[in-house]
Structure 1
Amino acid sequence: MSLTASTDPTPRITYGAVLGSPHVARLLSGTLTGRLPNAMAPVAIVLWTLAAGGSIAFGGLLSALYGLASALSQPVKGRLMDRYGQTAVHLPTALLNSSLLISLPVAAPYGGQALATTMVVAAGLTSVPLEAGLRALWPSVLPDPRLRHAALALDTGTQGLLYIVGPLVAAALASVHSPALALTVTAVLGLTGTLVVATAPPSRCWRPSPTTAGRHARRLAGGELVALFVSLTGIGFAIGSLNVWAVAMADQHGRDMLSGLLPAAFSTGSFLGGLVYGHRAWPGSTPRQLLFATVAFLAGWLPLLALPGPHAATVAVVLPGASLTVVVACAYQVTDALTPAGRTSEAYAWLILSIGVGQAAGTALSGRLADHVLGIAALPAVGAAFALTFLLLARPGHAPALRGWNRREHA
């Protein structure tokens, strides 16, 4: 895959053309539906724990374990997809994940905290790797690079909507009926979305490219790819910090809605940024676009250092959100270019893991600094600064990682 931007003098495309391409609407809608449990399950697990008489601390622990187990298992599932195809991984994991979530309210009360913890961790480990799978399908579904560029931006941008809709649906179901129903609906949505994707011809027939020979076949990630993944932990750190900072803002100003409104504004910015980015080709190589987007991501967090009020803060977080989609979309394109043939799903899974680990670290550290107003407001910028620094100076005493990416661009 070339990292060079399109030189077409009229590079504009329409999302109608993207969604009208064979299988695209089905794959995108199925993936979004199947990934709703990523946003619903953590909330539903906490609400179920409280309803069952557990503490919020234990509920938070279970929620964190679910997310961590899901992130850590991504590379293994990506490797399995590269070896055996998507259907062989998607269907068994979907069945196991859904069965565990549905069984949790029934079985866990009889086994206490130990059984509940085991079931939640197992459910996280068997979460379906739909995101990595979809990214691996785009080259075969959309051979036109411009359509693929738009699809990747649309795919990445709509992820933010999951974290607006998912928690709201889970909370509404728990409030109207019960947390057990919220877990059941979470499981059903995950299984339904997975079936839509796994039975689609592109996923069902997908096979990875033959693994290249020589040292590249034995080694997934060179220094440049590792540098990219490490920098993305800083992006995840900023996102994780945002969630806790939003809770702290809600507590500080006595407005509970801020805890959901601020992440929603950030996600809205991500969605809008994806729409703008995917609508046309942009000048400059993909690595340079990644660099500029990371600079914009860092700049977007700096207004928080002025400790804005609720209204200004809600507007401010839209700006880094708009840059996030560009950062992630470019990161996927660079990953694709630097990954040996036959191991793209595994590489995408490592990218997802990198962001997830950073997000967990940001959440944990922000929790410890929740009482320090300026400290917690500065953490998203710290994560973004780490990401930018590591992109430029991946290894002390060596050339910046971007130079290596640009060399490959002209290969």
Structure 2
Amino acid sequence: MSLTAPPAPAPRITYGAVLGSPYVARLLGGTLVGRLPNGMAPVAIVLWVTSSGGSIAFGGLLSALYGLSSALAQPVKGRLMDRHGQTAVHLPAAVLNSALLVSLPLAGPYGGPGLATAIVVAAGLTTPALEAGLRALWPSVLPDHRLRHAALALDTGTQGLLYIAGPLLVAALASAYNPSVALAVTAGLGLTGTAVVAIAPPSRLWRPTPSTQSHATTAHRLASPGLLLLFVSLAGVGFAIGAMNVWAVAMARQHEQELLSGILPAAFSTGSFLGGLLYGRRRWRGTATDRLIGGGTFFLAGWLPLVALPGPYAAIAAVAVPGVFLTVVVACVYVTTDSLTPAGRTSEAYAWLILSIGAGQSVGTALAGRLAEQPLTTAALPAAGAAFALVVLLAARRRLGPTGCLNRRGRHAARPEAGTRRPDPGHPHFQPF
């Protein structure tokens, strides 16, 4: 009989341990502050247009153009970061973005709608790619995969706070002062947060793992079937979120409660935040692909009660459920993306991921807006987007696993499931969980 004592269980990972790790609090906090303009600028732009005598329709158009141009530029900035590092891309983008937002109020007296449109589009194109940059930093900042698992969940979950705090801050500033002040504060927060991240040593010194492949081969690998299907599925997730925002406005009008248009998205974001906290506190069995499909299934199930056309209070509780599982889906997508992406292209791949969600969100918003007078159809659109995402994930399942991608030498090879690579301590993109 062996007298060898069983191995001691690994110590429990806490968020205090994650945030206490070097640079984690700074990078996470700086990224959240730097990305506050994502939740503030669209609202501030609409308020500025209407306070200047413009129509809500024109304000909504400018707001949509800001979000769309920001999403479309993400892959370009991701590619630049993979080539030149993060600081060289983040800081110039933040300076230009802030300068353009501050100058927008001058467009009314001196340039009219044409100049305002050009400034808004340029500001969107120059938004710093902080989200993609932070995801690329986690492996080098947190070598312990358990801490990295918790950090990724915390990072993903706290994104919902941007769309709760941002609009509320803009509304308070516009009410106490005017929308021009709200735009100036938006610009200042974006520049400050970006600077906090960009001058931090992990961001300043970060460089991607150099690829041993030719440029042509690497470009082909980035467009692998597994990644393409993963990004297509995320468009469905974004579609659900965009449709939900319009459905919330329709609910507010139907029940004559204007606050519902903000409370419902806030409930969804709160669910996402809580889901991130719960997901990151424990280790989960199964592969990242299994968790991704499981999260997608519950994400779809969470939208189905809306088809019953619930009342305001029931609707608030209902939308929190898909929010909880959104964090699971997005966190597992980042892990899977990392496992399918060739060396030296991770920031660009993360940027395409963000673009996919943003593009789907724009389509969902536009379609739901066209169908807003049909309550049942509008309520069913988020579930339709989630169902599309799940179907694509199920179709892509084998391509997201051990034989669904190429190894680092460009050959098909058996390997652990997505998110469970063999240990390679020297690899800055190693994701073992």
2:152 is matched by which residue type in structure 1?
L
- Cα distance change on mapping 1:226 and 1:408 into 2, 3 Å: farther
The match for 1:68 is 68
The match for 1:409 is 416
Contact residue 392 and residue 402 of structure 1 kept, 8 A:
no
What does the per-residue CA deviation read over 1:22-72, in whole Å, with 9 as the maximum and x for residues that have no partner?
000000000000000000000000000001111000000000000000000
The match for 1:331 is 333
1:360 aligns with 2:358: no
The match for 2:385 is 383
Contact residue 107 and residue 113 of structure 2 kept, 8 A:
no
Contact residue 46 and residue 63 of structure 1 kept, 8 A:
yes
CA distance in 1: counterparts of 2:181 and 2:404, whole angstroms: 48
What does the per-residue CA deviation read over 1:104-149, in whole Å, with 9 as the maximum and x for residues that have no partner?
1024431111000000000000001000000000000001111000
Contact residue 212 and residue 340 of structure 1 kept, 8 A:
no
Which of the pair has the greater relative contact order for Cα pairs under 8 Å at 6+ separation? 1
Task: For residue 405 of structure 1, report the CA deviation from its aligned partner.
Answer: 4.8
- SS at structure 2 position matched to 1:317: helix
2:371 pairs, out of 369, 372, 377, with 369
- SS at structure 2 position matched to 1:73: helix
CA distance in 2: counterparts of 1:405 and 1:284, whole angstroms: 17
Count of residues paired in the alignment: 401
Task: For residue 212 of structure 1, report the CA deviation from its aligned partner.
Answer: 3.1
The match for 1:248 is 250
CA distance in 2: counterparts of 1:165 and 1:205, whole angstroms: 31
What does the per-residue CA deviation read over 1:161-218, in whole Å, with 9 as the maximum and x for residues that have no partner?
0000000101110111000000000000000000100110000111111023156423
CA distance in 2: counterparts of 1:140 and 1:235, whole angstroms: 29
Structure 2 stretches lacking a partner, 5+ long: 1-6, 406-413, 422-433
Contact residue 398 and residue 404 of structure 2 kept, 8 A:
no
1:122 aligns with 2:122: yes
1:336 is matched by which residue type in structure 2?
D
Contact residue 270 and residue 322 of structure 1 kept, 8 A:
yes
Contact residue 36 and residue 190 of structure 1 kept, 8 A:
yes
Task: For residue 280 of structure 1, report the CA deviation from its aligned partner.
Answer: 1.2
What does the per-residue CA deviation read over 1:207-253, in whole Å, with 9 as the maximum and x for residues that have no partner?
11102315642321200010000000000000001100000000000
The match for 1:51 is 51
1:60 is matched by which residue type in structure 2?
G
CA distance in 2: counterparts of 1:408 and 1:46, whole angstroms: 50
Task: For residue 83 of structure 1, report the CA deviation from its aligned partner.
Answer: 0.2
- SS at structure 2 position matched to 1:390: helix
- SS at structure 2 position matched to 1:193: helix
CA distance in 2: counterparts of 1:41 and 1:109, whole angstroms: 20
- Cα distance change on mapping 1:17 and 1:116 into 2, 3 Å: same
- Cα distance change on mapping 1:11 and 1:352 into 2, 3 Å: farther
- SS at structure 1 position matched to 2:277: helix
2:219 is matched by which residue type in structure 1?
R
- SS at structure 1 position matched to 2:37: helix
Contact residue 276 and residue 328 of structure 2 kept, 8 A:
yes
- SS at structure 1 position matched to 2:212: coil
- Cα distance change on mapping 1:108 and 1:84 into 2, 3 Å: farther
2:355 is matched by which residue type in structure 1?
L
The match for 1:3 is none
Question: Share of identical aligned residues, percent?
Answer: 71
- SS at structure 2 position matched to 1:171: helix
* TM-score with structure 1 setting the length: 0.95
Query: Larger radius of gyration, structure 1 or 2?
Result: 2
- Cα distance change on mapping 1:196 and 1:8 into 2, 3 Å: farther
- SS at structure 1 position matched to 2:35: helix
1:218 aligns with 2:216: no
The match for 2:269 is 267
- Cα distance change on mapping 1:306 and 1:8 into 2, 3 Å: farther
Task: For residue 401 of structure 1, report the CA deviation from its aligned partner.
Answer: 3.5
Task: For residue 393 of structure 1, report the CA deviation from its aligned partner.
Answer: 1.9
* TM-score with structure 2 setting the length: 0.90
Structure 1 stretches lacking a partner, 5+ long: 1-6
The match for 1:233 is 235
- Cα distance change on mapping 1:293 and 1:8 into 2, 3 Å: farther
The match for 2:28 is 28
The match for 1:4 is none
Contact residue 288 and residue 336 of structure 2 kept, 8 A:
yes
Task: For residue 10 of structure 1, report the CA deviation from its aligned partner.
Answer: 4.5
CA distance in 1: counterparts of 2:394 and 2:8, whole angstroms: 29
CA distance in 1: counterparts of 2:182 and 2:219, whole angstroms: 44
CA distance in 2: counterparts of 1:63 and 1:89, whole angstroms: 24
- Cα distance change on mapping 1:14 and 1:75 into 2, 3 Å: same
Of the structure 1 ranges 333-342 and 209-218, higher mean CA displacement relative to structure 2 is found in 209-218
CA distance in 2: counterparts of 1:9 and 1:319, whole angstroms: 32
CA distance in 2: counterparts of 1:264 and 1:405, whole angstroms: 37
Matches within 5 A, 1:107-186: 107-186=107-186
Contact residue 12 and residue 281 of structure 1 kept, 8 A:
no
CA distance in 1: counterparts of 2:109 and 2:119, whole angstroms: 12
Task: For residue 391 of structure 1, report the CA deviation from its aligned partner.
Answer: 0.8
